[in-house]
């Protein structure tokens, strides 16, 4: 049975992040960000976790594709026009913190940075596209890491608060939907992008990561508070990386391990941000990681702030599911969206090993909605694949259409189950630089960008086969798949 009954005001759109598409990494006063020092390659996280890593750019050894991105900084008008041609109702993008506060600790924002987002937002509105803004997406000013040590330092709360207040105040009349931190829970695996932590400044130490999370939770609650003071109707959400997690078999030991992995990875950050308090399993989780809650630096006022300012909705990414096995570890491991696990014999995987699981999405939606009873927003999903133009220059990405179609069907099924789903913004609606590998060849878009991994190409934009397909999907409100 297929259920495709999407609400009339369903937010169909697409998603990007500043550091992965804008480029212009030092233009108009922009400062360096953590993303700017991430070298290209599947080993980019291994490189930054070497003991001698010192946050510098070394062009003699590495390429840094984020510096150029897809040159969206100079082409955003053309790109947003293409989004509007597809019929986007919304467009999720992030504001580069280092464009607004180049070092992060300034009092006065960089006017040219603000001017850029004034224009991006105005362009969206010109086409009746609702902007959905991520305040911080894997891109913090580098200076906040080199001078303050990243998110483990409580001073970051005041710097983020100032940044959030600046952009919320400037844009609250035009932007209704916000998210505070992209994939906040991803720090379990790679804290460099969201917390500015690597092996040599605390990134290997769980207590440090939890301290950084606590500071981010407080900062996020400030953003909610400031947003609601400006306009109580503003929707400020969290953003989680969600990977539906299965136990390998009926062995209760594996099932218990699955429950614990869900608590730790999928739910811990959301529990605090949505419910406004640390969950019941906090002490157990921290004990398992070798420390106590009271070892963290927190205050009663901060806990009250968390309680009083939970998020309005749950934004999350869903690309794949994971399998947990703690007994008889005889089955092969596979990689994935910043997490790894056991290979699921029932699923196929992308070329990058991410296990494709549309039904897992229906399960994810039900799990999150049963737990939180707040609106959900799938703000990332998609298939990273190598697209090759054929002899006529056409990109026939039927594999992407097939992936998205199956995932949209499961979204419809979850709505049938009673889930309140606000919208859907597939990731990288225009090809952009991969977060985990810095590759251009890992493409998600409906729009092809002529640029290769070596930085060669015209940067021209071309519509893929999926462009017209998604246009039909939106025009039919999800019924014509």
* Interface contacts to ligand BG6, rule CB under 6 A: 17, 20, 138, 182-183, 241, 317, 337-338, 380, 384, 427, 434-436, 442
Confirm if 383 and 399 have CB atoms less than 8 A apart: yes
CB of 424 to ligand BG6, least distance (A): 15
Q: Count CB-CB contacts under 10 A for residue 469.
A: 19
Q: Which residues pair with 237 in a beta bridge?
A: 179, 313
DSSP H helices in 180-239: 191-195, 206-230
CB of 20 to ligand BG6, least distance (A): 6
Q: Alpha-carbon distance 327 to 442, whole Å? A: 34
Rounded CA-CA distance 481/472 in Å is: 8
Hey, which bits of 268-420 come out as E strands? Answer: 313-317, 321-324, 333-334, 341-342, 376-380
CA 27 to chain centre: 24
Of 372, 152, 208, nearest in space to 279 by CA: 372
Residue 141 main-chain phi, psi, to 5 deg: -55, 135
Shortest separation between residue 370's beta carbon and ligand BG6, angstroms: 24
Q: Is there a contact between 407 and 361 (Cβ–Cβ < 8 Å)?
A: yes
- Within 10 Å of residue 311's Cβ, how many Cβ atoms? 27
Neighbours of 38 (CB within 10 A): 26
Q: How far is the CB of 148 from ligand BG6 (least distance, A)?
A: 23
Strands 321-324 and 244-247 come out as parallel
Nearest residue to ligand BG6, by Cβ distance, number only: 436
Q: Indicate which residues carry an active-site annotation.
A: 380
Our CA angle for 450, 424, 181, nearest 5°, is 85
Helix (H) or strand (E) segment spanning residue 254: helix 252-261
The least CB distance from residue 438 to ligand BG6, in Å, is 9
Q: Least Å distance between CB 290 and ligand BG6?
A: 27
Specify the residue, 44 or 214, whose C-beta has the smaller distance to ligand BG6: 44
Identify which of residues 98 and 182 has a Cβ nearer to ligand BG6 in the complex. 182
Tell me whether residue 384 or residue 445 sits nearer to ligand BG6 (CB atom).
384
């Amino acid at each position: 049975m297929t259920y495709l009954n999407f609400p009339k005001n369903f937010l169909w759109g697409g998603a990007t992040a500043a550091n992965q598409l804008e480029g212009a990494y030092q233009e108009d006063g922009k400062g360096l960000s953590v993303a700017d020092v991430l070298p290209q390659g599947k080993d980019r996280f291994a490189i930054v976790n070497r003991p001698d890593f010192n946050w510098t750019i070394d062009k003699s050894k590495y390429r840094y594709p984020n510096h150029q991105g897809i040159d969206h900084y100079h082409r955003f008008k053309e790109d947003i026009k293409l989004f509007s041609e597809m019929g986007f109702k919304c467009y999720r993008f992030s504001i580069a913190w280092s464009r607004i506060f180049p070092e992060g600790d300034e009092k006065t924002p960089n006017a040219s940075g603000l001017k850029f987002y004034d224009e991006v937002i105005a362009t969206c509105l010109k086409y009746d596209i609702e902007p959905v803004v991520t305040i911080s997406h894997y891109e913090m000013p580098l200076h906040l890491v080199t001078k303050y040590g990243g998110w483990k330092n409580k001073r970051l709360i005041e710097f983020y608060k100032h940044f959030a207040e600046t952009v919320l105040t400037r844009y609250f009349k035009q932007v209704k939907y916000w998210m505070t931190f992209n994939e906040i829970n991803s720090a379990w695996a790679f804290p460099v992008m969201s917390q500015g932590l690597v092996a040599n400044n605390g990134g290997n130490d769980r207590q440090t990561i939890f301290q950084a999370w606590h500071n981010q939770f407080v900062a996020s609650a400030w953003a909610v508070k400031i947003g609601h003071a400006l306009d109580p109707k503003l929707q400020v959400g969290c953003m989680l990386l969600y990977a539906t997690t299965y136990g390998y078999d009926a062995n209760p030991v594996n099932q218990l391990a699955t429950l614990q992995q869900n608590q730790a990875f999928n739910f811990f950050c959301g529990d605090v941000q949505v419910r406004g308090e640390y969950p019941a399993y906090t002490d157990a989780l921290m004990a398992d990681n070798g420390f106590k809650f009271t070892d963290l630096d927190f205050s009663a006022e901060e806990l009250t702030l968390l309680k009083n300012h939970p998020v309005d909705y749950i934004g999350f990414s869903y690309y794949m599911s994971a399998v947990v096995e703690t007994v008889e570890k005889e089955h092969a491991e596979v990689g994935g969206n910043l997490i790894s696990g056991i290979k699921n014999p029932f699923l196929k995987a992308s070329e990058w090993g991410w296990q494709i699981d549309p039904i897992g999405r229906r399960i994810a939606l039900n799990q999150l909605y049963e737990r939180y009873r707040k609106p959900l927003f799938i703000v990332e999903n998609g298939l990273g694949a190598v697209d090759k133009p054929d002899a006529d220059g056409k990109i026939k990405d039927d594999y992407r259409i097939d992936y998205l179609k199956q995932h949209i069907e499961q979204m419809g099924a979850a709505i049938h189950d009673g889930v309140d789903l606000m919208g859907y913004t597939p990731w990288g609606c225009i090809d952009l630089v991969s977060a985990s590998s810095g590759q251009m060849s890992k493409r998600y878009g409906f729009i092809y960008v002529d640029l290769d991994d070596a930085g060669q190409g015209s940067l021209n934009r071309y519509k893929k086969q999926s462009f017209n397909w998604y246009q039909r999907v939106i025009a039919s409100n999800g019924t014509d798949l």
